[in-house]
């Protein structure tokens, strides 16, 4: 029998994405029922990728302004991240191939899915699809930088993997998705 009943949704904002309030009956593990309220932000799902070059022993990361981090403790709000984007109508693999070209100017054909995970399960419905992909010099087709039409302003960083790992260990990389994939590369020795 379900421990969740009478789920009621109240829309709070659909200004850009959707913020809703939910009330529901929840049966606790001791059998009693309570009526919690939760706010949930829905903006679809996402995909991100660690691009690596086994000849040069480099990875591609990006730097862009992230307002929420600027509001909370980050020094300047410019975060070092993996290329990533929101799934539009496409599937995760098509999405990450498209975002890779838009954000860093690399036209990649094959990517490998390594993980799937909820970004912030207490508040967001979003699930992230994590990929890795090997790139070579001949795949570089533009400077990247993101879509001007969406006001994206992305700096592309091509770094030795050892430098990315140093930045990870010294707290200069603070985006969880980027931490996950750099650690994946270490564990699986992608650049040894």
Ligand X SMILES: Nc1nc2c(ncn2[C@@H]2O[C@H](COP(=O)(O)OP(=O)(O)O[C@H]3O[C@H](CO)[C@@H](O)[C@H](O)[C@@H]3O)[C@@H](O)[C@H]2O)c(=O)[nH]1
* Residue number of the CB atom closest to ligand X: 46
Mask of contacts with ligand X, 148-177, x by CB under 6 A? --xxx-------------------------
**Could you tell me how many residues make up the chain?**
192
Mask of contacts with ligand X, 101-140, x by CB under 6 A? ------------------x------x-x------------
**Which region, judged by CB under 6 A, interacts with ligand X, from 31-39, 83-91, 105-113, 133-141?**
83-91
CA distance 35 to 81: 39
Was 150 annotated as part of a binding site?
Answer: no
46 binds ligand X (CB under 6 A): yes
- Selected binder of ligand X within 51, 84, 97, 190 (CB under 6 A): 84
85 binds ligand X (CB under 6 A): yes
97 binds ligand X (CB under 6 A): no
Binding site residue list? 84, 99, 103, 152
State the residues that interact with ligand X by CB under 6 A: 16, 46, 48, 84-86, 99, 119, 126, 128, 150-152
User: Residue positions in the annotated binding site for Mg(2+)?
Assistant: 84, 99, 103, 152
């Amino acid at each position: 029998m379900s421990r969740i009943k009478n789920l009621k949704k109240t829309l709070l904002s659909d200004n850009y994405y959707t913020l809703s309030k939910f009330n529901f009956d929840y049966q606790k593990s001791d059998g009693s029922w309570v009526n919690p309220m939760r706010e949930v932000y829905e903006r679809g799902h996402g995909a991100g990728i660690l691009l690596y070059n086994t000849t040069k022993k480099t990875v591609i990361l990006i730097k862009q302004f992230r307002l929420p981090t600027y509001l909370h403790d980050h020094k300047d709000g410019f975060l070092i991240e993996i290329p990533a984007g929101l799934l539009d109508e496409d599937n995760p693999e098509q999405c990450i191939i498209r975002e890779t070209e838009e954000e860093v100017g690399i036209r990649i054909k094959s990517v490998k899915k390594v993980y799937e995970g909820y970004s912030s399960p207490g508040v967001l419905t979003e699930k992230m699809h994590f990929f890795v992909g090997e790139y070579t010099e001949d795949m570089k087709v533009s400077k990247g930088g993101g879509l001007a039409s969406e006001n994206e302003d992305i700096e592309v960083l091509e770094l030795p993997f050892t430098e990315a790992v140093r930045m990870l260990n010294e707290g200069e990389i603070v985006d969880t998705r980027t931490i996950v994939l750099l650690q994946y590369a270490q564990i699986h020795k992608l650049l040894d």
